[in-house]
Structure 1
Amino acid sequence: MTEHEPPPETPTRRRRGRPTGARAGDSGTRERILAAARAVFAERGYDKTSIRAIAKTAEVDSALVHHYFGAKEQIFEAAIEVSFAPALGVPDVLAAGPDQVGERLARYFLSVWQNPVTRAPLLAVVRSAVTNETAAGVLRGFVLRRVLLKVAGELDLPDARLRAELAAAQMIGVVLMRYVLKVEPLASATEEEIVGYVAPTIQRYLTASE
């Protein structure tokens, strides 16, 4: 190198953890990450899902996933909220009054699970909760805050929260037996058959004064 030659440039290195590709604030980035998270959770379950796998599916840096959602537990909760969105209308079903509320609730709940579009992400959530305590805790907290407490608020009866939990347990039990374990003859029973047996029990939980 002569006296007048400039020194060679030193290659710049990207700071560790700096997001690549999509950036925070880009239109649709958060939704793309959430869609990727739902897909990966559905395919691998909670235990085998990693932030890195979600980032790879969404084609973003892992740091960007942390930026929007924090830890895996938080992004799982966000995925639950999207997956359970159809079920959040349960309090509206109760608000229509006590007459035949058991039948209305059973039909509404089954309609959500009968639809293949809404059933697939819900099954992924339930399977993760069955096999992982952290996932189960996130699901319990979400169902309590977003569904059961609202249902209890519509019941002008003693032990409203317990009644709401019993009604939820009845329907979740049906879901596990019918869609997850696929136990016969429940798995092949018609919606009308299931409603006929389940609705009176839910009605009693939510309306019986004694």
Structure 2
Amino acid sequence: MTTARRSPPRRSPGRRPGGPDTRGEIVKAARETFAEKGFAATSLRAVARQAGVDAALVHHYFGGKDELFIEAMALPMDPRQVAARIVDGPRPELGRRIVTVFLGLWESDDGQQRMKAMLRSVVTSDEVARTMREGITRMILEPVAQFVGPPDAKLRVSLIASHLIGVALTRYVAGLEPVASTELGPLIDHLAPAIQQYIDG
């Protein structure tokens, strides 16, 4: 008596299911899609199409666009947590919180390396710069601007960002003295009133 041979299972058409490398392939597809379209115009469905997977898998691994952006761009911090720490407190102390949180991202060796890498990516690629600008605006600058309130909240917050990026370049990249070697506490004491002036002035 002979046993009938079984045919190998046929793979159903459509998007491929998740596998060991699926998460990494989604991240790669997200990085490419963010670079091409920017943060605002990128959707999870577009990333799923680029990765060749079902959109539900992207939701499964990342939950939403913010999480996917943070992973794809290899950010050294979660921008949403940064914004939450900044707005958690009274308005008269907002300038000090902004300076403290921002410089705190740079103070460790690992944080400094990651922040420098992010800056290099921004200044060497127009696509990355656009994506980072849109993403950071969405997750940090807009929540802080809402906390600041009118008038000219977005302009004020943008000026704060410009001021602090300049300080970071001076202290951590160019190493200009005496800013580079000043203790963090006194540096914050000097900067906090200037940043508060952007908020209240």
TM-score normalized with structure 1 length: 0.61
Equivalences for residues 52-91 of structure 1 within 5 A: 67=51, 78-80=71-73, 82-85=75-78, 88-91=81-84
2-structure distance, mates of 1:92, 1:31: 30
**1:175 equivalenced with 2:159 (yes/no):** no
**Counterpart code for 1:125:** M
Q: Which residue of 1 aligns with 2:111?
A: 118
2:75 and 2:118 in contact (8 A); partners too: no
Equivalences for residues 191-210 of structure 1 within 5 A: 191-206=184-199, 208=200, 210=201
Q: 1:101 aligns with which of 87, 94, 97?
A: 94
* Structure 1: gaps of 5 or more residues: 1-22, 39-45, 47-63, 70-74
How far residue 80 of structure 1 moved from its aligned partner, in angstroms, is 3.1
- Taking only aligned residues, the RMSD between alpha carbons, in angstroms, comes to 3.3
What fraction of aligned residue pairs are identical, expressed as a percent? Answer: 31
Q: Which residue of 2 aligns with 1:140?
A: 133
**1:155 equivalenced with 2:148 (yes/no):** yes
2-structure distance, mates of 1:154, 1:31: 36
Aligned length: 155
1-structure distance, mates of 2:107, 2:24: 26
1:30 and 1:68 in contact (8 A); partners too: no
1:84 and 1:122 in contact (8 A); partners too: no
Rg larger in structure: 1
How far residue 142 of structure 1 moved from its aligned partner, in angstroms, is 1.5
Secondary structure, in 3 states, of the residue corresponding to 1:154?
A: helix
| 1:135–1:94 CA distance, 2 compared to 1 (3 A) | same
Secondary structure, in 3 states, of the residue corresponding to 1:137?
A: helix
Which string of whole-angstrom CA distances, capped at 9 and with x for unpartnered residues, describes residues 93-120 of structure 1? 2241213221122111111111223332
2-structure distance, mates of 1:134, 1:107: 30
Secondary structure, in 3 states, of the residue corresponding to 1:26?
A: coil
2:79 and 2:140 in contact (8 A); partners too: no
* Structure 2: gaps of 5 or more residues: 1-15, 36-47, 54-67
**Counterpart code for 1:136:** A
2:85 and 2:101 in contact (8 A); partners too: no
2-structure distance, mates of 1:68, 1:178: 44
Which string of whole-angstrom CA distances, capped at 9 and with x for unpartnered residues, describes residues 133-170 of structure 1? 22221221112111111111112331111111111111
| 1:169–1:141 CA distance, 2 compared to 1 (3 A) | same
TM-score normalized with structure 2 length: 0.63
| 1:177–1:159 CA distance, 2 compared to 1 (3 A) | same
1-structure distance, mates of 2:79, 2:138: 15
Q: Which residue of 2 aligns with 1:20?
A: none
